[in-house]
Amino acid sequence: MKLSGSKGVFLWGVTGFCVLMLSLPTVIVVGASFTSGDIIAFPPQGFSLRWYSELWQLASFKAAFWRSLYVSLICTVIAIPVGTLAAIALSRYRLRARTALQVILLLPFTIPLVVSGLSMMMMFGEVRVLGQLWPVGLALCVINLPFMIWSVAASVNAMDPELENAAASCGAPPVQAFFTVTLPAVTPGVITGALLMFILAFNEFLVSLFLTDSRTVTLPVEIYNSIRSVITPDLAAVSVVYIVIALVAVALLDWLVGLDIFLKSK
């Protein structure tokens, strides 16, 4: 579609402004992480890898990073089967309590994180598992599960239902049809949802703050504790670690699924 000169200039101007606003915080934090000074600043005071070196030597940050990785893996491993089966059931079958199930599964998305974190802290405290890492992964799976369901449901809705009927007509039992027809067809949605769950769990701060203690803090909580005392350039270096992880996730999504397929999903 061709645009007139004034409309084209306006649209390109708005697009450029949006791109600038979206990318500017990333540019600033990346630049600040390479400063050679003792305070976080942009433009950086010289160029140095000093803060990356100091960050690598901080045992607390390294331990918090591995805890966040562990929690994210637990969240993802639980979300893949639960979210996949829930999305297929809600999209393919006429369940008697379908509306109620949809409300229950999507309810964590509508509840404020403060409320979710407080309620889960009380629940895990009652069963005496508060302070361990696996409940954090379980809690993050619960609050982010709608993203997994939406992702898989998009693939389910795009799948031709006659494929499953054809498999049944060929004599395949339901379990075999699921693993040979349904699951391969919805794999792009499963991969997309799994990557989203991993990133969301790795970045989650508020719920993790309620469920961790000084021995089990995750990386976002460790960053928060450090900011409360003093803001130094090593925090910018940690932010770059998050940016790198996000870029790796996008690259994996493009390699395994394809960004064009992901962007066209509804």
Instruction: Report the candidate in 91, 77, 76, 75 with the shortest Cα–Cα distance to residue 152.
Output: 91
Question: What is the Cα–Cα distance from 190 to 196, expressed in whole angstroms?
Answer: 10
What per-residue confidence (pLDDT) applies to 102?
72
Residue 60 CB-density burial (10 A; 0-12 exposed, 13-18 middle, 19+ buried): exposed
Q: Which two tokens stand for residue 115?
A: 């409320």
Q: How far apart are CA 165 and CA 224, in angstroms?
A: 53
Cβ pair 141, 82 in contact under 8 A: yes
Please tell me the distance from the alpha carbon of residue 48 to that of residue 234, in angstroms, as a whole number: 12
- 188 by Cβ neighbours in 10 Å (0-12 / 13-18 / 19+) ranks as buried
C-beta neighbour count of 131 within 10 angstroms: 15
Say which residues have a Cβ less than 8 Å from residue 147's Cβ, sequence separation at least 6: 193, 196, 197, 200
CA distance 219 to 222: 5
How confident is the model at residue 74, as a pLDDT?
93
**What is the pLDDT tens value at each position of the chain, 266 positions in all?**
455 567 777 788 888 888 888 888 788 888 777 777 677 767 777 777 777 777 777 788 888 889 999 999 999 999 999 989 888 888 777 767 677 777 777 777 778 888 888 888 888 888 888 878 888 999 999 888 888 888 888 888 877 777 777 777 777 777 777 888 888 888 888 888 898 899 889 888 888 888 888 788 888 888 888 777 667 777 778 878 888 888 888 788 777 776 666 655 54
Which residues make Cβ contacts (< 8 Å) with residue 80, sequence separation at least 6? 148, 190, 193, 194, 197
Position of tokens 């005496």?
Answer: 128
Record the pTM: 0.81
